[in-house]
Each structure stands twice: as structure tokens, then as C-alpha cells.
Amino acid sequence: MKICVVTCMTIALVSAASAQGTAQGTTQGTAQGTAQGTSKATHNGTGASAAAADDPCRYLVASEVELYTGPLVAPPFRANSDSATPRRTGDACLYRGKDGRGVFVSYSAAGGKVAGTAGRRVPAVLDRTVGGAAGNQDGTEHQGMGASVMGPAGPGPWDNSNWFPTGTIIVYKGDASFDIDISATSAGKDAAIDLATKAIGRLGHPLDYDGAKAVAVAPKPVPKVPPCDLIPRARAEAILGTLSHAPVADDKEAICTYTVASSDGDIKYAVAITWGNGYKQLNMLKHGMSNIMGPMTASENTINTGRNGGLPSMAGGMPAAPPLDSSQQKMFGAFTKAVGLPQASGIGKRGTATDSTLAGPWDSAALVNGDWLIATRHDVAVTIAVGNADYDKAKALVTAACERL
């Protein structure tokens, strides 16, 4: 019983932190942010006067990317990588599939040598830092986590490279670099390597293509509305019953919270709306747990107790935890409340399995780690941290929101 509860506690902390960060649109990690920021610095600084050769749409043919996105909904177009918004001066080229899958390609003509050298060194620095923090005092280097987080992609036509398990590859050739983000697809590392190899092959003789001009025929984003307008109070009460008070939107107009009273206190249904990159968010949320837990348990010294060695790890990361029994749920609920993560208490009720077979009025949906319910339609993501709320009612709220998109 204790082992099961402790496992759930560990998974809850990692899962909640990872999923909440993804849902809020945060970066994929300090290491990746450092590498990407260095490689993109020159590219982003070119602004509206960017030369045609710097157009990131000129290095991959649509048919090459369609292997991983399916048929494109429109010709490749320039867009902002953080929101997928079509823009003539966007920092990336977006290859958007008809079902929402997409690949972002960014290109920088300068700074690659410096960025590649930094990217190559970061994993070793990360390993030493983690080893010291974990109490690795025997003089040996702490190996494993750095390479798992942003290690080299492997052999290829590049001078240096970094692969991030969240779905991004950065490759450096001479002073040029490509940042290829496939996290909004179901493809993996091999696909990223394939596209990076083809992009590098066109250095010096890019395609005759204008990604800025293609913005004119790009799919238009879904118009934003206040989050509480997406599911009006009357519709919410038809699903949840009488609300304790009017729905409340957060100060960023990104979340609407519906509250109902119960014998155990108020139950909150916080519906988060992300108006772009929904498919990417869903895939990152689905794979976020394994991406984090894998590096955490990649070697026997990952959890280190000092000179005498560390706790043995489980190959491939932690397995999905089953639902807890009633007494375990009480213990687990008290823990999540004490650490300020009551929304993670649903893990005790539903376990940590991920279900991607949900049917409804969406392009794709999943229950992630037993606690995070997310659906996307027209690249808009609707997310609820179910916690101790009613799962079927939470799913009905997501359904109602998607029907309005």
C-alpha cells in the first residue's frame, strides 16, 4: 500500500507540474530554451526585412513533410511558432495537416557555430549540476539525464545537433541552423532526423518559394471569445447542476472556472482555452510524462543518495499506476492538498493511464495520466484538470466547448 501511494505521489508531482506548464504555454524546459534562444537570436532579429533566402519555407518540400502530417490543408506558410498564427514575418514555416498535425521549421543563416558549440556542451554541464545536487560525491561524472533531455541527435550531415524528446531537433551546419519542431505530429526522432537531413541538403540552393506570400491562403485562426462565453452559465448548469456563483474568468481571459457545492466542499471545473497550437499542446501533454520520467529514471544513479550509490531505476521510466483503493485515496488526497496540488488528486481515483480513444466533436482528445482531459478542434485546445471532480461531467463540459468552436 505504501509503495503504491508513494509512486502515485511522485507521479502526481511530476505530472501536474509538466501538464500544467504545457497547458499554460510555457517553454519545454530551460535547456531547450537556451539552445533555441541562441540559435534563433539572429533569425528573429531580421524582422520584416528578412532576405528571401532566410525564408524557412524554402528548405522542405510539402510532400516531404506530408509523410508525417498527412495532406496539408494549405501550402506551407510563415507563422509565429508560439501561436501558429499566420504572419508574413513569422519566425517559422508551418506545414499544417488537414487533421491538425503540423511541423514548424525555423532557419537561421548566422550564429550556428556558436550555438552548436553551446548546445553540445549543455548536456555535460546539466549532468554535472544534477549529479552535484543529488549528492554524487565520489568524483565520477553524473551521466544520463543531460543526454536524455537534449543530447545529440546522432550522425548526420551536421556539425552539431540536439534532440529534445518533446519533439524538437536543432541542427547546426557551418554558421547556419535549423530548428524543426514535430511535436504536433505523432512522428518521432527518425522523422525529425529525416526532415533535418533534407533541409541541410538544400543549404546554398533553397527552393524557389515564398512562404510570406502563402500567408494569404493560410487557414484563418478561430476567432477568440471570452472563455466563459464558450460555455454559458445555463449550459454549464445543465451539465453540472446549480452553480455556487457565476462562472469566473481569470485575468488573462484564458480560463473559466465553474464551481459547484458538494458535501466535501466546493468542486471546481477550470476550463482552459488555448486559441492556437492546440494539436501541439495535446501531443506534448500526452507524451510529457514519459519524456520527463524517462530521463529521471534513465540510469541507476539518477536518484543518488551519495557516496554509496543511488536507488535502482526502472527501465523505461515509471509504469502507469493503477487506481488506489478507498483508504489509499484518502491518504493520497491529503497529500495532494498539503502540497498545493489538489487538482492531481484524480490520479488516485483513475490511476495514471492515458486514454487517446475518446470520441466526441473534436479532432483529437485524450485523458492524460488519469487527470488531465484535453481535446482540440480547429487547433484550439480545451483542457480541464479533473482532480476530484466528476469525470463524466468534465468530459461533457469539454464536449460543449468543442461544439461551439
Nearest Cα residue to 385 out of 252, 258, 242:
258
User: Which pLDDT belongs to residue 328?
Assistant: 56
Nearest Cα residue to 404 out of 273, 282, 278:
273
pLDDT at 181 over 70: yes
pLDDT at 138 over 90: no
- What's the one-letter identity of residue 135? G
Which residues lie closer than 8 Å to 266 by C-beta, 6 or more apart? Answer: 244, 259, 260
- What's the one-letter identity of residue 360? G
Mean residue pLDDT across the chain: 76
pLDDT at 357 over 80: yes
Instruction: Tell me if residue 303 falls in helix, strand or coil.
Output: coil
Among 37-46, 177-186, 207-216, 218-227, name the most confident range. Answer: 207-216
Residue 130 binned pLDDT confidence (cut-offs 50, 70, 90)? low
Counts of helices then strands in the chain (DSSP H, E): 12, 12
Residue 38 C-alpha cell reads as: 541562441
pTM above 0.75, yes or no: no
User: Which pLDDT belongs to residue 248?
Assistant: 95
pLDDT digit string (tens) for 23-76? 333 333 444 554 544 444 333 333 333 446 689 999 999 999 999 999 999 999
pLDDT digit string (tens) for 292-336? 444 444 433 333 333 333 333 333 344 555 565 566 555 656 656
The least confident of 185-189, 213-217, 378-382 is: 185-189
Which residues lie closer than 8 Å to 63 by C-beta, 6 or more apart? Answer: none
User: Which pLDDT belongs to residue 113?
Assistant: 83
* Helix or strand (DSSP H, E) at 267: strand 267-274
* Percent of the chain's residues with pLDDT above 90: 42
User: Which pLDDT belongs to residue 294?
Assistant: 46
Alpha helices by DSSP H, listed for 233-319, are: 233-240, 278-296
Q: What whole-number distance in Å separates Cα of residue 102 and Cα of residue 62? A: 11
DSSP 304-326: B-STT-BPPPPTTSPPPPPPP-H
User: Which pLDDT belongs to residue 22?
Assistant: 41
* Helix or strand (DSSP H, E) at 380: strand 380-385
User: Which pLDDT belongs to residue 178?
Assistant: 96
User: Which pLDDT belongs to residue 310?
Assistant: 34
Q: How many CB atoms lie within 10 A of CB 147?
A: 17
**Residue 391 burial class via C-beta count within 10 angstroms: exposed 0-12, middle 13-18, buried 19 and up:** middle
